[in-house]
Amino acid sequence: MCQGCVKEEFPDRESLCIDQGSYMLNFSKCCNCGARDMKIANRSCVDSEQEEVITYQHVCGSCDHVIAEHEHTFRVEEEFQLYGMSCLLCGSADDQRSIMPIDPRGPAM
């Protein structure tokens, strides 16, 4: 992972957990070649009964310099879907959603 390519390391994204794409507003430029284009590489999904983990790399579109490693997790615990994201570029976030038609915690604020 490369701190020189991003404006802010692991920005707090609150509950926004993305499993694809890039947070381009946080991308400064490739510190290796100066390019401002990016692509996703080496995407994989490991799915078990307990958890789904999606990983991929954000890489420079010109020189293939690795900018960040992205990890997105999903699992179900009791009555909630739990999501997580960790990425130098896209940030850190956690979210949970009720699987029930009416959330037992009440309406979201």
Question: Structure pTM?
Answer: 0.86
pLDDT in tens, 29-74: 999 999 999 999 999 999 988 899 999 999 999 999 999 999 999 9
| Residue extents of the structural domains in the chain | 3-98
CA distance 84 to 77: 13
The two counts, helices (H) then strands (E), for the chain are: 0, 5
What is the CATH code for 3-98? 2.60.40.4240
Name residues whose C-beta falls within 8 Å of residue 47's C-beta, 6 or more positions apart in sequence: 53
Average pLDDT along the chain? 90
pLDDT beyond 80 at 84: yes
**Total residues belonging to the chain:** 109
pLDDT in tens, 40-51: 999 999 998 889
pLDDT beyond 70 at 86: yes
What was the pLDDT predicted at 54?
96
